[in-house]
Amino acid sequence: MQPYSPERRTAVVLCGTGAHGAYHAGVLRALQEAGVKIDVMAGQGVGAAAAALAAIDGASRLWEEQGVWRSGEVRSLYSWKWPVRAAAWLACAAAAVVALSALLTAAGVDAGALRWPLVAFGLIAAMTMVLGVGALAGGRAARRRGDGAWWWRVLGAPIDAERARSMFAGALWVLIRGGGQAARPDRPLIGRRYADVLSENLGQPGFRELMLIVSDLDARRDVVAGFLREPYRQAFVAPRADGERRSEVIDLAGTGRDLAFDVIAGALTPPVVCDPQPITYGVDSYWRGETHRLCDRTGACSRLLEELAAAGVSQAILVSAVAAARAPHRLTVPRLELRYRLSDALAAAEAAAVRDALELARLRFDSVYVICPSHNPIGAFDLEGAYDEASDRRQTLLELMTRAYEDAYHQFIEPVVGASGEQLAQMESR
């Protein structure tokens, strides 16, 4: 590994899901304050949205007082869909009615032979109606029909990713709409305007090249979207011997500019528990106008580093909110809710993926650095914070952001950037 040098082409790679975005915000704030030179912003998952903001000099929208991770809206991200919540409450009410009826009957109280069963039946019917209305609304919003038994149409995906997509769409639109107060347009127009702003300003202070990655469920492969300057753009879209390159890349500086926000929205969509983000490719693209389903893929950082190396990046800073490998006797009580089970699986997969990515990166980069916490009790879906058994207190996203800021200084800025400056000063004094 070579020493850090600001003269090398450098990329910051942000990896994570959900609440991990608060950690990305703290790291980006520290890097910006320290004046670290960044040529390419890259991201996976919620890191893709942060990378998109940072690429147009908008990273401060992540940490400022009215920014994404300090707003009260963040607590409602990745919550249960309203039909699921309503059905759960109605099911509890029906169970309570049945239990009360049984208790009254056992106590010899005449509560009416049919009154309580009818109330319970009404609640169950209301629960079914709520789920049906939710499924109908979801079906109307979908761009493609689905196949399966009716109960899967009723149940659907239980967690809502739309609020996260909408929140980051709003943050981007504030930056790219210009001086007016125009209402936020639909997503293709946001993507096109974003690409135009980046194209007009690339090369100016604070504006950087961009690379994002998502998983295309229909193509069965990763899709890499990039906004690169020449000559790297030409190499990015050029055919390769190992497959049809056009099927897995989107050139955000060219014909794919309308798809910019669809890619970001797909990266903000955790797999399985959320409805995938639809993306309609252009009729002149490899997929000939097909509508595919996008979602995030934990562990895609290896592919992202591979693409960055091919784009001329020789120095990478990998940022992950997942703590390094744990020591013995640090087990915690597992939480049983579906979101937290998924959060544990995502954290384990990301930790393993970061380790594998580092092994790969050391062979292809002059230098690679990792910024990650030594301990982090906040999982991907802990948008309201989480109880930390190690410190016996509750930790918030604001604390996670502050810890990320400190980690960036302690793990990279002071020992790496500072040391390189001292070495340069010594060489100049000779």
- CA 236 to chain centroid: 23
Give the count of beta carbons closer than 10 Å to the beta carbon of residue 198.
23
Whole-number Cα distances in Å, 77 to 176, 277, 382: 23, 16, 10
Per-residue confidence (pLDDT) for residue 101, from 0 to 100: 66
Helix locations, 202-244, DSSP H = 232-237
pLDDT digit string (tens) for 230-255? 999 999 999 887 778 889 999 999 98
For residue 336, the model assigns a pLDDT of 81
CATH 3.40.1090 fits 10-78+163-429, yes or no: yes
pLDDT at 181 (0 to 100): 76
Contacts of 192 (CB under 8 A, 6+ apart): 257, 258, 260
User: Which residues are within 8 A (CB) of 359 and not within 5 positions of it... i.e. 6 or more apart?
Assistant: none
pTM score of the predicted model? 0.88
Pair of tokens at residue 267:
């990266």
Domain ranges, ordered by start, for the chain:
10-78+163-429, 82-155
Which are the contacts of 265, defined by CB distance < 8 A and separation ≥ 6? 165, 169, 187, 277, 294
Q: Is the pLDDT of residue 123 over 60?
A: no
Q: Are 49 and 424 within 8 A, CB to CB? A: no
Let me know how many helices (H) and strands (E) the chain has, helices first. 14, 11
Give the whole-angstrom CA distance, residue 128 versus residue 131. Answer: 5
Out of 81-95, 255-269, 352-366, 389-403, pick the least confident.
81-95
* pLDDT reported for residue 360: 86
Query: In this predicted model, what pLDDT tens digit does every residue of 249-288 receive, in sequence order?
Result: 999 999 899 999 999 999 999 999 999 999 999 998 999 9
Q: Which residue has the tokens 């952001």?
A: 401
**pLDDT tens, 378-387?**
999 999 999 9
Overall residue count recorded for the chain in this entry: 430
Residue 424 has pLDDT above 50, yes or no: no
Mean pLDDT across the stretch 137-156? 58
CA distance 40 to 30: 17
